[in-house]
Chain A
Amino acid sequence: MISTTPRVPVAELARETGWEVKAQGACRGEQCVPLPAGSLVDGRVDLPAFAERTGRPLLHDAEHGLWSLGPQGGGRAMTTAQAPDLLLPTLTGEPFPLSALRGKKVLIAAWASW
């Protein structure tokens, strides 16, 4: 997740990571972690605190004013067999949620032009 600010709106964080942040901490499904006091102000989450508590790296490009929140480290690439709610655009730009294919078998065939 790329951000131009270290304090991101809770809705944006939820959309990008699946984590919901409330006053008492951050939760994803059954899993909840407490956040330090002051991590949630005016509907925005302190990204460094969130990253530290959820085991995700946060890189900062000071020259370009960018923060990049990586995936959780220390385990494996997949932490659940439940497919994530992947939302990507079609070739003509319409958003296409992976969940639109629920009820069918799906083969994700990853390829590239390079």
Chain B
Amino acid sequence: MDAGGAQAAARFAADVDFPVVVDSSHRLGELFGVVNVPAGIWIDEQGVVVRPPETAYPARPTFADIDLDDPAVVASLPAEAVSRLRMVQPHLARMRLDPEAYVAALRDWVAQGAASRFVLSAQEVLERSRPRPLEQAQAAAAFALGEHLHATGRSDAAIRWFRESHRLQPDNWTYRRQAWSLVDPSQGPTEHYDGDWLSDVQREGAENYYEPLDLEPRLA
């Protein structure tokens, strides 16, 4: 999910053996309700969604453990990466990442298929997908306008629509992070947006940055 397209994504996906597709206009947000990344969606062999979007860390992120007190480590990294890490690292401990539980559930599904207890009924999949009141449907339309204007070389005009998507759906991190990153790769404060990554995380609480994993079915 990246308005930067293949150019932005390629260096992260050079050596993988699964299909990688480019979602420049955040179709995954519109169609499934993804509001932050990383998010995982499970689809069975018949094309039926058996788990809607949820926080999906495959492992503890490697950048969490980079030692910024080590001058040699700092010297080896681009200055921009160091400043970004200094911003993110203090909040990571409070974010609910839970990679071990997620990967264990995923492995269980791979082994057990439909018999896995982590496979949800169609009814529960829909009920667990995010509520979409009219304002959030409007937010998706506003974000799409912003993305289209950006993609067609009118990035200044895109800002108004990205701001509108933020106003209409303030809890959507993908709308915010995408828009901020297009004017400042480190997602710091700018004249264009009311929020920025660090201020918003501090205000809303790092523990609320990702929804907690809720792996067990709620419906019988």
Instruction: State the A residues within 8 Å of B (CB).
Output: 1-2, 56-59, 61, 63-64, 66, 68-84, 86, 88-93, 96, 98-114
Contacts and interface: CB of A to CB of B under 8 A. Distances in A.
A88 B106 contact: no
Interface in B1-60: 1-2, 4, 6, 8-10, 12-13, 19-23, 27-28, 30-34, 37-50, 52-53, 56, 58
A113 B178 CA distance: 9
Interface residues of B, number: 75
Nearest to B33: A77
A68 B132 contact: no
Contacts of B22: 88-91
B125 to A, nearest CB: 5
A81 B126 contact: yes
B78 interface: no
18 contacts: A68-B141, A71-B141, A73-B134, A73-B135, A74-B137, A76-B127, A77-B129, A78-B52, A78-B129, A91-B9, A91-B13, A91-B22, A107-B106, A109-B39, A110-B34, A110-B38, A110-B53, A111-B37
B89 interface: no
